[in-house]
C-alpha cells in the first residue's frame, strides 16, 4: 500500500488532535504524560454523497464539528449526545446571529448604503474574531496543537509514514493549504459576495443569507480542496487565505509533536495496527542502527505490553497486529531501555531467579544469577542439618529467602525476611503471595538485625526460665550493600538505576558487614550459620573481619559461575 495516497487531516483540540482519514477517526491526547489514541473505524463503502461536490463539503464540515464536540466537552465533565447537540445548536445560533446583525443594523441606513454597511460589519466581526483569538491565552494550547497537526500532515505528505519522526515533523511548516482557517477565509468572502444579491426586503434577505450559509460552507470546502491540489507555483493564489494561520497556529512543543505523530500514524494505516515483525524492523531502523541490541529484549518488552507469551508473538509476528496504544507504549519502554539505560527487569517487572519468578521494580535490587550459588549452598546445609529457623537479611525483593523456603525439604521450616526499606518490603510481600509461601514466611521491617535483637530481649523478660537458644535462629543469609560509596557514580548506567540503599556499603564497602557480624552474635544459635554474599575483591577483607570476631569459624568460601569470589560461610561457635 502506498501511504501517500491516504487522505488525512485534523482538528486541533484543547488537549490533543482529532485526525480523520479514509479509514478511521483518531483522537490523540496526552493524559498524565501518557499518549492515548481513541480510534473509530469508518465504513469502507463510500456514500454517493462523497462524490457530489458542495454537498460532500456541507456534510463533511458538519460531521467534523460533531466529531470534535465530545472532546471539547471533556474539560467540562460532559460528554454525551445531548452535550454534542448543544454544541451544534450553539454553532448554528452564533452563525445566524453573525449574519443577522449586519442586516438588522443596515436597516437604520439608506438603501443605497446598506450593502456597504453589511459588508463592513461582516469584516468587523471577522476582525473581532481574529483579535479575540490572538489575545485569548486559553487558546494558545489549541493553536500549538493546530501547528503540530499541520506539521505532521506536511511531513506525511512529503515523506510518507516512514518519514514520520519527531525530528522531521519539527522541521516541517506549521502552515497547510487545507487548513480550516483557509476555509473560514473563503467562507467569509463568499458571505460578503452573498450580500450583493439584490434583495430589498431585509427580512427576506436575512432568510436567504442564512440559507446561503449552508451552500457557502460547501463551496468554501471545494475551493480549499481545489487549491490544495494545484501545482506548487499556484500556491501564491492561496497565500492571502493562509495568512490567517499566523494567528491560528503556533509552534508546538516536542510533546505535542509526539501526540500528532502517533495520531496521524493511527489514522493512515489501512489495518488498525502494525504487524509485529514490521514494527520491530521499523524500530530498529529508526532507533538502533548505531546501537547494540538483542531482539530477544525487544520481544520481552512486547510480551509485557501485549500480555502475550513471547514465543506466541514470535510464531505470529507476521500476522499479529500491535494496536496503536500498544505501539506507543512499546516505543516508550524501548526508548527507556535503550536511551535511558533502564534495566529490562524494571520495565517488564519480572526476573527469574533460582527456578522462580519474581516481581521487581526500582525499589529493590535486581536478583542476579551469581547469587544463586548462595541459595544452592544454603539449601544443602539446611537439609543436611535439618535447620528450621532462618533469616534472609537485607531481603529486598525476597528472592533469596523465598527461593530457599520453596525448595527445601525440611518439615516446619520458616524464614523471616528483614529489610529497612518499607518500599522493598512491600515488593517482598507481593512475591511471598505470588509464590504461595505466605504460611512459611514472615516479613519484618528492621535496621539490619536490630528488631530481631529487641524481640529476643523482650521475650527473655516476659518468659520465665526461657531458654535463649530457643529464641534464636539456625541461619542468617544476606546479600548486603557492599559497593564503595565513591565507586557508585562510576557504575554502569543500568546499575545506577537500582536503589542506592541496596548498593552503598560505605566508604570502604564493608560497613554493613561489620554490623552484621556483630549483631548476628545476638541472634544466631550456637553452631548457627552465617552466609554472606561478597564483592569479587572483598574476600580477604571479610575474612579479616570474621577473624577479628573469634566467635566465628569460616567453613567455606564460594565462587560464582564466573569463577569469582562470591560468598563466605561461617559458623557461630558461641560467646
Check residue 366 and give its pLDDT. Answer: 96
Residue 120 above 70 pLDDT? yes
Residue span(s) of the chain under CATH 3.40.50.150 come to 362-572
State the pLDDT confidence band at 86, using cuts at 50, 70 and 90: low
Q: How far apart are CA 66 and CA 463, in angstroms?
A: 78
User: How would residue 76 be classed by pLDDT, with cut points 50, 70 and 90?
Assistant: very low
pLDDT in tens, 498-540: 999 999 999 999 999 999 999 999 999 999 999 999 999 999 9
Indicate the range of 2-6, 105-109, 347-351 predicted with least confidence.
2-6
Q: What does residue 37 show for φ and ψ, rounded to 5 degrees?
A: -120, 125
362-572, superfamily in CATH?
Vaccinia Virus protein VP39 (3.40.50.150)
Is residue 378 within 8 A of residue 399, CB to CB? The reply is: no
Question: What are the Cα distances from residue 54, in Å, to 208, 311, 349?
Answer: 18, 53, 56
Q: Which three cell numbers stand for residue 529?
A: 550459620
DSSP code per residue over 360-389: --TTSPPP-GGGHHHHHHHHHHHHHHT--E
Q: pLDDT per residue over 355-379, tens digit each? A: 899 999 999 999 999 999 999 999 9
Range list of β-strands (E), 384-515: 389-393, 414-419, 441-445, 473-478
Tell me the pLDDT band of 468, cut-offs 50, 70 and 90. Answer: confident
pLDDT of residue 143: 93
Instruction: Output the CA–CA distances (angstroms, integers) from residue 316 to 278, 305, 348, 496, in the order listed.
Output: 12, 16, 21, 36
Task: Look at residue 133 and tell me whether its pLDDT is greater than 90.
Answer: no
Residue 383 pLDDT: 96
Q: What is the pLDDT of residue 69?
A: 59
Asked whether the predicted pLDDT for residue 91 surpasses 90, the reply is: no
According to the model, what pLDDT value does residue 83 have? 54
Terminal C-alpha separation, the chain: 81
For residue range 405-422, what is the model confidence (pLDDT) as tens digits? 999 999 999 999 999 999
Q: What is the dihedral of CA 499, 368, 522, 466, to 10 degrees?
A: 110
Position with higher pLDDT, 90 vs 22: 22
Helix (H) or strand (E) holding 256: helix 254-268
CA nearest neighbour of 253 among 145, 168, 331, 328: 145
Phi, psi of 198 (to 5 degrees): -75, 85
473-478 vs 389-393, strand pairing mode:
parallel
| Residue 125 predicted with pLDDT over 80 | yes
pLDDT computed for residue 6 by the predictor: 84
Q: Residues 384-402: pLDDT tens digits?
A: 999 999 999 999 999 999 9
Q: What was the pLDDT predicted at 355?
A: 87
Q: Give one DSSP letter per residue of 516-539, joined into a string.
A: HHHHHTTTEEEEEEEEEE--TT-H
The model's confidence at residue 463, banded by pLDDT at 50, 70 and 90, is low
Summarised one tens digit per residue, pLDDT across range 203-228 is 999 999 999 998 998 999 889 888 88
**Is pLDDT above 90 for 240?**
no
1-54 pLDDT per residue, tens:
344 568 888 889 888 999 988 889 999 999 888 999 999 887 766 667 677 888
pTM: 0.83
Q: Are 428 and 399 in contact (CB under 8 A)?
A: no
Under a CB-based contact definition with an 8 Å cutoff, are residues 185 and 284 in contact? no
Q: What are phi and psi of 429, to 5 degrees?
A: -60, -40
Band (66; pLDDT cuts 50, 70, 90): low
Whether the pLDDT of residue 462 is over 80: the answer is: no
Amino acid at each position: 500500500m502506498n501511504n501517500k495516497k491516504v487522505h488525512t487531516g485534523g482538528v486541533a483540540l484543547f488537549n490533543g488532535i482529532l485526525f480523520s482519514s479514509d479509514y478511521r477517526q483518531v483522537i490523540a491526547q496526552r493524559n498524565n504524560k501518557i499518549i492515548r489514541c481513541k480510534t473509530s473505524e469508518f465504513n469502507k463503502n463510500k456514500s454517493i454523497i462523497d462524490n457530489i461536490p458542495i454537498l460532500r463539503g456541507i456534510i463533511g464540515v458538519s460531521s467534523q464539528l460533531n466529531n470534535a464536540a465530545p472532546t471539547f466537552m471533556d474539560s467540562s465533565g460532559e460528554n454525551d449526545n445531548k452535550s454534542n447537540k448543544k454544541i451544534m445548536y450553539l454553532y448554528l445560533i452564533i452563525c445566524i446571529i453573525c449574519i443577522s446583525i449586519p442586516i438588522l443594523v443596515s436597516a437604520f441606513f439608506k438603501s443605497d448604503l446598506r450593502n456597504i454597511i453589511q459588508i463592513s460589519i461582516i469584516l468587523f466581526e471577522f476582525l473581532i474574531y481574529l483579535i479575540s483569538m490572538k489575545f485569548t491565552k486559553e487558546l494558545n494550547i489549541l493553536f500549538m496543537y493546530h501547528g503540530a497537526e499541520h506539521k505532521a500532515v506536511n511531513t506525511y505528505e512529503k515523506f510518507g509514514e516512514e518519514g514520520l519522526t519527531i525530528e522531521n515533523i519539527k522541521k516541517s511548516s506549521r502552515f497547510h493549504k487545507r487548513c480550516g482557517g483557509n476555509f473560514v477565509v473563503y467562507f467569509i468572502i463568499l458571505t460578503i459576495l452573498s450580500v450583493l444579491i439584490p434583495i430589498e426586503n431585509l427580512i427576506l434577505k436575512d432568510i436567504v443569507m442564512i440559507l446561503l450559509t449552508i451552500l457557502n460552507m460547501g463551496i468554501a470546502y471545494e475551493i480549499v480542496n481545489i487549491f490544495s491540489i494545484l501545482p506548487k507555483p499556484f500556491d501564491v493564489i492561496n497565500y492571502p487565505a493562509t495568512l490567517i494561520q499566523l494567528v491560528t497556529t503556533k509552534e508546538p512543543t516536542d510533546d505535542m509533536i509526539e501526540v500528532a505523530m502517533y495520531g496521524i500514524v493511527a489514522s493512515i494505516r489501512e489495518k488498525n495496527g502494525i504487524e509485529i515483525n514490521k514494527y520491530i524492523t521499523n524500530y530498529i531502523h529508526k532507533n538502533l542502527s548505531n546501537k547494540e541490541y538483542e531482539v530477544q529484549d525487544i520481544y520481552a518488552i512486547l510480551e509485557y505490553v501485549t500480555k502475550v507469551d513471547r514465543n506466541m508473538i514470535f510464531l505470529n509476528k507476521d500476522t499479529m497486529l500491535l494496536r496503536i496504544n500498544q505501539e506507543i507504549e512499546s516505543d516508550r519502554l524501548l526508548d527507556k531501555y535503550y536511551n535511558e539505560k533502564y534495566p529490562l527487569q524494571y520495565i517488564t517487572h519480572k526476573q527469574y531467579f533460582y527456578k522462580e519468578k519474581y516481581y521487581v521494580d526500582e525499589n529493590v535490587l535486581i536478583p542476579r544469577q551469581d547469587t544463586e550459588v548462595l541459595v544452592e549452598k544454603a539449601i544443602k546445609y539446611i537439609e543436611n542439618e535439618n535447620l528450621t529457623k532462618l533469616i534472609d537479611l537485607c531481603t529486598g525483593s525476597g528472592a533469596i529467602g523465598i527461593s530457599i523456603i520453596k525448595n527445601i525439604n525440611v518439615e516446619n521450616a520458616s524464614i523471616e525476611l528483614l529489610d529497612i526499606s518499607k518500599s522493598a518490603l512491600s515488593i517482598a510481600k507481593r512475591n511471598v503471595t505470588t509464590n504461595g509461601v505466605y504460611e512459611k514466611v514472615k516479613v519484618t521491617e528492621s535496621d539490619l538485625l536490630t528488631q530481631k535483637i529487641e524481640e529476643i530481649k523482650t521475650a527473655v523478660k516476659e518468659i520465665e526460665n526461657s531458654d535463649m537458644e530457643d529464641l534464636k535462629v539456625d541461619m542468617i543469609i544476606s546479600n548486603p550493600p557492599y559497593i564503595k560509596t565513591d565507586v557508585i557514580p562510576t557504575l554502569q548506567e543500568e546499575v545506577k538505576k537500582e536503589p542506592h540503599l541496596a548498593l552503598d556499603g560505605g566508604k570502604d564497602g564493608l560497613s554493613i558487614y561489620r554490623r552484621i557480624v556483630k549483631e548476628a552474635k545476638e541472634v544466631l544459635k550456637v553452631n548457627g550459620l552465617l552466609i554472606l554474599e561478597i564483592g569479587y575483591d572483598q574476600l580477604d577483607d571479610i575474612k579479616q573481619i570474621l577473624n577479628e570476631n573469634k566467635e566465628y569459624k569460616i567453613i567455606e568460601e564460594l565462587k560464582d559461575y564466573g569463577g569469582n569470589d562470591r560468598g563466605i560461610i561461617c559458623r557461630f561457635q558461641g560467646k
